[in-house]
């Protein structure tokens, strides 16, 4: 698969903007493009998806092993794949490791990397910066550089200096673009749907890439990528948890209807999770807690993933019929997974960032409230609990929220990797699994399988 990865020295260097621009430019050339995002991010893949019209997927070294990531990378049919890095190129878990970094993904998949260097306010110093990234790891996979926010006058001199002194190719530059900044809020970039005339902006961005980025050079680099590795050990290609005595597939032909919340408030959804639910026997039906008056009929399960319920608290609250329907369904035994924003929705009340309190579903006593800072941010491993009444292998997860709860639960122990920090969290019962952690089912396939198994038992 022709491919390359776009990394950067740090967050805020322009990775997402330039990735989107190159995706747009290559699509305008008639290329069938696939995109991937390193790390657990939900929002950047939404921008990719808006441009290429196909789902962007996550490649996360904390949730997935090398075999899984290689398999995800080869799961799509395309002319070229573009991977967007996460944070700084070498930044991994706990802030002290390269594990789960963009570098690790590039190394595991033998993907050539291009470093996006924000050159604003620098000249000769960019050479020292790039040299540091080239020498920090000998197997760094870095094959080129793109400069961001540099002037057309300075660029030729920067390029000559870097190519002559470091022997690495420069694949163009992007000048400072007025009006192209992707605005952010407390959980990251604003959603694509919130940006006016996004489609027109992306077309203009693609044209800019044609002018100042060496797309032909990038295509040549992508074509030179080595074959994606096939793990020598069979175990390396098995999803984490598949080998446990409880990890054997329980997929049956019997189908159960699962309602998945999906709208402006609930949009942090891994496509791979939906695929896992379908493989286990789910017929996925989407519904909107904002716009719909009632749940889809004949549901055996409800899934409430994360998003921005705090931004739509009033509309969620005033949709009394939906709140009532969700509450009654869960109390009557419909199985439920709820994480982060979905977990907040199941509380008695939600207090927004202005301090105004709104009634919510009421499954869990207590309220959620704005803390003004990230709470328990980062990767965690969940242990000591049960999933729908059964013990499982450890669960890898990720927390990223500015809200907290007076009732976070205590059915699991969350342990931060490479750290001594831990805390109790999650509500886990025979028919519910809820809490702040976001879970990628690739890290533990038993989550999806046991959820659908319980739904099928209820149906019978």
Residues with catalytic annotation? Answer: 340
Could you give the angle at which helices 43-52 and 198-212 cross, rounded to 10 degrees? Answer: 80
CB 277 within 8 A of CB 251: no
Cα–Cα distance, 47 to 19 (Å, whole number): 10
DSSP string, 64-127: S-HHHHHHHHTSS--SEEEEE--SSTT--GGGT--TTSHHHHHHHHT--EEEEEE-TT-STHHH
Q: C-alpha distances in angstroms, 316 versus 329, 332, 341, 360?
A: 17, 22, 12, 7
DSSP string, 263-293: SSSEEE--HHHHHHHHHHTEEEEEE-TTT-S
Cα–Cα distance, 3 to 102 (Å, whole number): 14
Burial group, residue 420, by CB count within 10 angstroms (0-12, 13-18, 19+): exposed
CB 306 within 8 A of CB 438: yes
Placement of tokens 């995706």 in the chain? 23
Considering only CA atoms, which of 277, 278, 279, 242 is closest in space to residue 393? 242
Placement of tokens 């993907």 in the chain? 111
């Amino acid at each position: 698969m022709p491919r390359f990865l776009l990394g950067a020295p740090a967050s805020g260097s322009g990775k997402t903007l330039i990735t989107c621009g190159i995706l747009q430019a290559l699509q305008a050339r008639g290329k069938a493009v696939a995109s991937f995002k390193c790390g657990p991010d939900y929002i950047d893949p939404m921008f990719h998806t808006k441009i290429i019209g196909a789902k962007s997927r996550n490649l996360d070294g904390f949730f997935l092993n090398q075999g899984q990531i290689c398999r995800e990378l080869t799961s799509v049919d395309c002319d070229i794949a573009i991977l967007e890095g996460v944070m700084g190129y070498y930044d991994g878990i706990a802030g002290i490791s390269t594990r789960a970094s963009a570098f690790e993904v590039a190394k595991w998949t033998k993907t050539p990397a291009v470093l996006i260097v924000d050159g604003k306010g620098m000249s000769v110093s960019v050479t020292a910066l790039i040299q540091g990234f080239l020498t920090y790891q000998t197997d760094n996979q870095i094959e080129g550089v793109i400069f961001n926010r540099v002037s057309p006058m300075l660029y030729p001199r920067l390029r000559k200096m870097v190519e002559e002194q470091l022997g690495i190719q420069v694949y163009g530059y992007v000048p400072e673009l007025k009006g192209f900044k992707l605005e952010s809020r407390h959980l990251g970039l604003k959603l694509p749907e919130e940006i006016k005339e996004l489609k027109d902006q992306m077309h203009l961005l693609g044209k800019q890439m044609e002018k100042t980025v060496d797309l032909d050079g990038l295509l040549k680099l992508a074509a030179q990528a080595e074959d994606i590795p096939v793990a020598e050990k069979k175990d390396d290609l098995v999803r984490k948890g598949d080998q446990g005595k409880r990890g054997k597939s329980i997929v049956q032909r019997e189908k159960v209807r699962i309602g998945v919340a999906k709208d402006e408030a609930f949009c942090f959804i891994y496509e791979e999770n939906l695929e896992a639910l379908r493989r286990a026997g789910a017929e996925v039906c989407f519904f909107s807690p904002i716009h719909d008056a009632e749940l889809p009929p004949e549901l055996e399960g409800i899934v409430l993933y994360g998003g921005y319920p705090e931004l739509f608290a009033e509309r969620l609250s005033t949709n009394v019929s939906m709140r009532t329907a969700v509450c009654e369904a869960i109390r009557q035994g419909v199985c439920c997974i709820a994480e982060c924003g979905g977990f907040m929705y199941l509380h008695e009340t939600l207090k927004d960032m202005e301090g105004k309190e709104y009634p919510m579903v009421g499954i869990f006593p207590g309220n959620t409230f704005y803390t003004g800072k990230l709470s328990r941010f980062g990767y965690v491993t969940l242990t000591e609990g049960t999933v729908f009444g059964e013990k499982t292998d450890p669960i890898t997860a990720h927390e990223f929220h500015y809200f907290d709860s007076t009732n976070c639960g205590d059915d699991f122990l969350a342990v931060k990797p490479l750290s001594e920090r831990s805390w109790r969290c999650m509500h886990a019962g025979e028919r519910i699994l809820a809490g702040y952690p976001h879970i990628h089912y690739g890290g533990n396939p038993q989550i999806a399988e046991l959820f659908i198994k319980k739904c099928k038992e209820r149906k019978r």
